[in-house]
């Protein structure tokens, strides 16, 4: 069993994975001010909540889009497990052919998700990750990463709308009963949920048009749960996708035989 860590701009996703599957996934807030000890305590507490002692953990792997935290959290993992984590980045084997202008520019989170999706779902595939940013990635029928799109995340868009207007309130991220809203709160819910659903449908249409054939669609990220049920395209939700990808990359790079 290994400990998997995905460091995002807003949340850090923590899980444990073994050959039998993903055992749990939890999220803690990303905080660049915390020390390695504070993160070690947070990770140890999560493991204790799930009754997983650190002794059976054979290793750890992390991906990060927050460079200042990468070394900090690696030190935290070393405190827990007794050795540094494998960090997804240059020199790490992924098995994913990347067909973009500069493969080194592809975020480690997008690599991790693509590795898992290409292995577990029919191809070609459009992969959606709705986190701080919303990303769409296209994987062709041969399992190659072709490219994609990056958009402002739904949460960022909502925060911007509230912070830059004088009268719009903070709202919960849920769909209203109708697309023709009758009040301000429902109008905002309509825009943020149905608007993002329509955006995903439109992007899938465009990407399928360029592929020249239909593609399966898979989504991950907390906000996707509220949006994809309102899409016209069938989109499968997989919360565990980052953990699955990290485990696969770990196994490709293991040196203990």
Give residue-wise pLDDT tens across range 144-182. Answer: 999 999 999 999 999 999 999 988 999 988 999 999 999
pLDDT for 231 beyond 90: yes
Residues 133 and 204 in one domain: yes
Which has the minimum average pLDDT: 69-78, 94-103, 115-124, 153-162?
153-162
- Residue 128 banded pLDDT, cuts 50, 70, 90: very high
Residue 249 covered by a domain: no
Do 20 and 240 contact (CB within 8 A), yes or no?
no
What SS3 string covers the chain?
A: CEEEEEECCCEEEEEEEECCEEEEEEEEECCCCCCHHHHHHHHHHHHHHCCCCCCCCCEEEEEECCHHHHHHHHHHHHHHHCCCCEECCCCCCCCCCECCCCHHHCCHHHHHHHHHHHHHCCCCEEEEEECCEEEEEEECCCCCEEEEEEEECHHHHHHHHHHCCCCCCCCCCCCCCCCCCCCHHHHHHHHHHHHHHHHHHHHHHHHHHHHCCCCEEEEECCCHHHHHHHCCCCCEECCCHHHHHHHHHHHHHCCCC
pLDDT in tens, 15-35: 999 988 888 999 999 999 999
Which residue in this structure is represented by tokens 């007794």?
A: 82
Q: Which residues are catalytic?
A: 109
Residues 52 and 119 in one domain: no
Q: In terms of pLDDT, which residue wins out, 125 or 52?
A: 125
pLDDT in tens, 182-214: 999 999 999 999 999 999 999 999 999 999 999
Residues 140 and 30 in one domain: no
pLDDT of 21 reads 87
pLDDT above 90 as % of the chain? 88
- Residue 244 banded pLDDT, cuts 50, 70, 90: very high
Residue 112 covered by a domain: yes
Do 173 and 158 contact (CB within 8 A), yes or no?
yes
- Residue 53 banded pLDDT, cuts 50, 70, 90: confident
Residues 113 and 52 in one domain: no
Residue 76 covered by a domain: yes
Identify the domain containing residue 146 by its residue range. 103-244
Residue 226 covered by a domain: yes
Residues 80 and 139 in one domain: no
- CATH at residue 155: 3.30.420.40
pLDDT of 176 reads 92
pLDDT for 48 beyond 80: yes
Residues 129 and 79 in one domain: no
Residues 57 and 119 in one domain: no
Query: Into how many domains does the chain fold?
Result: 2
Residue 254 covered by a domain: no
Residues 14 and 42 in one domain: yes
pLDDT of 257 reads 45
Sheet holding 59-64, edge to edge: 21-29, 11-18, 2-7, 59-64, 86-87
């Amino acid at each position: 069993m290994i400990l998997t860590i995905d460091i995002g701009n807003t949340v850090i996703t923590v899980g444990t994975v073994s050959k039998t599957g993903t055992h749990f996934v939890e999220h803690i807030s990303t905080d660049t001010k915390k020390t390695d000890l504070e993160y070690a305590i947070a990770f140890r507490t999560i493991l204790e909540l799930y009754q997983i002692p650190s002794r059976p953990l054979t290793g750890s792997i992390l991906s990060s889009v927050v460079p200042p935290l990468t070394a900090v959290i690696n030190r935290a993992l070393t405190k827990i497990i007794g050795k540094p984590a494998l960090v997804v980045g240059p020199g790490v084997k992924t098995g994913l052919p990347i067909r973009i202008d500069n493969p080194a520019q592809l975020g480690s989170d997008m690599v991790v998700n693509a590795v898992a999706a290409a292995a577990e779902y029919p191809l070609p595939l459009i992969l959606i990750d709705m986190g701080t940013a919303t990303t769409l990635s296209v994987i062709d029928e041969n399992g190659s990463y072709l490219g994609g799109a990056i958009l402002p995340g739904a949460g960022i868009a909502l925060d911007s709308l509230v912070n830059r207007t004088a009268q719009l309130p903070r709202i919960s991220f849920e769909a209203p009963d109708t697309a023709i809203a009758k009040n301000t709160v429902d109008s905002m819910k309509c825009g943020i949920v149905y608007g993002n659903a329509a955006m995903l449908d439109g992007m899938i249409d465009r990407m399928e048009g360029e592929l020249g054939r239909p593609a399966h669609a898979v989504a991950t990220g907390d906000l996707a749960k509220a949006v994809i049920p309102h899409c016209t395209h069938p989109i499968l939700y997989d919360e565990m996708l980052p953990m699955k990808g990290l485990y696969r990359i770990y196994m490709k790079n293991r040196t203990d035989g």
